[in-house]
Amino acid sequence: MKTLSQISPYQCTIRKAVHSRGVGLHSGNRINMTLLPAGANTGIRFIRKDLGAHNLVPAFMNRVVDTTMATTISEGNASIATTEHLLAAINGLSIDNIIIELDGPEVPIMDGSSAPFVDLLLDAGIRQQKSYRRLVKITREISFRDGDRHISINPYDGFKITAEINFKHDTIKRQVYSIAVSPRKFVTEISRARTFGFLEDVKKLQENGLALGASLDNAVGMDQNGVLNKEGLRYDNEFVRHKIVDIIGDMTLLGCPVLGHIVAYKSGHNQHLKLMETIAATPDAWEFVELKKDGQLSVLNKFVSKTREAGNRLLPILSPVVHKRPV
Q: What stretches of the chain show up as alpha helix (H) in DSSP?
A: 84-92, 115-124, 183-185, 199-207, 238-251, 269-280, 315-318
Per the CB < 8 A criterion, the answer to whether 128 and 291 are in contact is no
**Residue 79 pLDDT > 80, yes or no?**
yes
**Residue 310 pLDDT > 50, yes or no?**
no
pLDDT at residue 205, rounded to an integer: 78
C-alpha distances in angstroms, 56 versus 77, 88, 246, 319?
Answer: 10, 20, 23, 15
- Write down the mean pLDDT value for the chain: 88
Span 227-266, pLDDT tens digits: 999 999 999 999 999 999 999 999 999 999 999 999 999 9
CA pair distance 271, 112, nearest whole angstrom: 21
Span 172-183, pLDDT tens digits: 999 999 999 999
Percent of the chain with pLDDT over 70: 88
Which of the two residues, 214 and 309, has the higher pLDDT score? 214
**Residue 158 pLDDT > 80, yes or no?**
yes
C-alpha distances in angstroms, 202 versus 41, 167, 179, 193?
Answer: 40, 17, 30, 19
Q: Are strands 196-198 and 220-223 parallel, antiparallel or unpaired?
A: parallel
List active site positions.
269
CA pair distance 326, 262, nearest whole angstrom: 32
Percent of the chain with pLDDT over 90: 72
Span 94-120, pLDDT tens digits: 999 999 999 999 999 999 999 999 999
CA pair distance 150, 69, nearest whole angstrom: 18
pLDDT at residue 168, rounded to an integer: 87
Query: Running DSSP on this structure, what letter comes out for residue 188?
Result: I
pLDDT at residue 1, rounded to an integer: 40
Cα radius of gyration rounded to whole Å, the chain: 19
pLDDT at residue 306, rounded to an integer: 36
**Residue 185 pLDDT > 80, yes or no?**
yes
Lowest mean pLDDT among 13-17, 68-72, 257-261, 310-314: 310-314
Lowest mean pLDDT among 87-91, 153-157, 215-219, 291-295: 291-295
Domains, the chain, ordered by start: 4-318 (3.30.1700.10)
Q: Are strands 226-227 and 56-58 parallel, antiparallel or unpaired?
A: unpaired
Please return the burial class of 76, using the count of CB atoms within 10 Å of its CB with bins 0-12, 13-18 and 19+: exposed
